[in-house]
Amino acid sequence: MKFSLLIKNIIYSVVTNGDAEVCHITKDPADVAEGSLYICIKGISGDGHEHIETAVKNGAVAILCEAELENRPQLPCVKVENSREALGFVCKEFYGDPLSGINVVGVTGTNGKTSTTYFLEGIYKTAGRKCGVIGTAGVRINGEERRFKYATSTTPDTIDLFRIFTAMRNEGVSDIFMEATSHALALHKLSALHFSHALFTNLTQDHLDFHKTFEEYLAAKSRLFKLSDSAVLNADDKSSSVISKDSLCERFTYSVEAESDFRAENLKFSPDGTDFDLNGEHFFLPIPGSFSVYNALAAIASAKKAGIPYNVIAEGLLSVRVIPGRIQPVKNDLEIGVIVDYAHTPDGLEKVIKAVRSFTEKRVITVFGCGGDRDRTKRPIMGRVSGELSDFCVVTSDNPRSEEPESIIAEILPGIAPTCCRYISEPDRRLAIFKALEIAESGDCVIIAGKGHEDYQEYENKRRISFDDRIVAKEALAAKGATL
């Protein structure tokens, strides 16, 4: 495709005149090949403008940048205000607007994004629709997991995202449900997209290493609602009022406590799930915990406003029995509850422990840690939350990245110590899980929190080793004599 056509919908200044035939788009100088358009991105840890010469040598035929260039390459080159934002519109042209005619729903919030997209998938599949899901647990097309390589953990980078959209379009997907992270929104990765509905789950402390303040974190989340036709907001979360004021789109609300358009009533909890009533209809959600009800309500409100009847919605929710790494049970015959959950924030940890407490006969034993190179201020808070709500804690490693696990644990313990909860620390996560299950007795429940669906641990220089809490828990149960 001609370079001039790729940039027709962005505002730019011409640095070098001319045109070129582009057959590849990249922002990675190592990925440049003959016929590439090279997009210069100013990243968090590097600046793509410094690699223009290398890109030209490797075959780049056009350049898009946002900085003044001292040595202008003798090929088509344009300057924009924000190259990350421009990249989305360039991809939209290059991939032939793959979302045209597809219903796209975005879900944002600190916790609950993955569960909400899975509930939406269950509902829409029951309604006979072909669905795509993009998020923390990976990519699903028509109910099947698909392997797409992308570097970020939740919302893929722009080029990867458009490749996924194209694959979904080619397989006849009619509806896409995707998680929208604050990082992706702040960095304009989604600016070229249009959403039919934008769903807000909740906002609690997280990612302050990146956003610096809670206000900046909320502002990033709010950007999604400027890209959408309608907003579905959690009326029980005070941040919804800020989002509502900033948003000009149509707004709907859901809740358990406050008055709203979709308010759940008569909640009844059990280890097998939750019953609740909504607008004269009865629902059963086969996943326990009040936080699961909130996630389901967001999906219900969106689906109902899209014209799906309540009976189909109820049937769709029933079809969602397991969400990878979200209050996921590891079944055994020792009468010991084992729950693997992705909870990695103070609020997420609090919610999962309270949910498990509601159906646990005896003790709640919590295994958790905190990620390295991430918001350090939440570490003692997570220690306090776990200590106040658990009967026993095993503090361990999560994804340590460039930090020493012992140093991370040392920042967690000041929060747990004043609670008087019994605890041990074990930096080796595998040993920590084994020790927790050695302690556990019939009637107890062990929560293994922080990594959920992840099948790795990440160390320095992005080195990963194979590690899955669910598999390790099964090994520990087997060592205890369980039949799985």
Instruction: List the pLDDT tens digit at each of the 484 positions of the chain.
Output: 999 999 999 999 988 888 999 999 999 999 999 999 999 998 777 899 999 999 999 999 999 999 988 777 889 999 999 999 999 999 999 999 999 999 999 999 989 999 999 999 999 999 999 999 999 999 999 999 998 877 666 789 999 999 999 999 999 999 999 999 988 998 999 999 999 999 999 998 665 666 678 889 898 899 999 999 999 999 999 999 999 887 878 999 999 999 999 999 999 988 889 999 999 999 999 999 899 999 999 999 999 999 999 999 999 999 999 999 999 999 999 999 999 999 999 989 999 999 999 899 999 999 999 999 998 999 999 999 999 999 999 999 999 999 999 999 999 999 999 999 999 999 999 999 999 999 999 999 999 999 999 999 999 998 999 999 999 999 999 999 998 8
Report which secondary-structure segment, H or E, holds 358: none
91 to 88, 99, 178, 183: CA distances (angstroms): 5, 12, 18, 19
Question: What's the pLDDT at 464?
Answer: 94
On whether the CB atoms of residues 27 and 151 are closer than 8 A, the answer is no
Distance CA 12, CA 451 (A): 43
The distance of Cα 186 from the centroid of its chain, to the nearest Å, equals 15
Report which secondary-structure segment, H or E, holds 214: helix 214-222
Question: What's the pLDDT at 341?
Answer: 96
Question: What's the pLDDT at 245?
Answer: 86
Question: What's the pLDDT at 210?
Answer: 65
Considering all CA atoms of the chain, what is the largest pairwise distance in Å, rounded to the nearest integer? 75
Instruction: State pTM to two decimals.
Output: 0.90
DSSP tag of 285:
E
CA nearest to 254, candidates 119, 346, 134: 119
User: Which strands, in side-by-side order, build the sheet including 131-135?
Assistant: 144-146, 138-141, 131-135, 175-179, 103-108, 195-200, 228-234, 250-255, 262-270, 273-278, 281-285
Q: Is 483 left (phi over 0), alpha (psi -120 to 50) or beta?
A: beta
Question: What's the pLDDT at 3?
Answer: 96
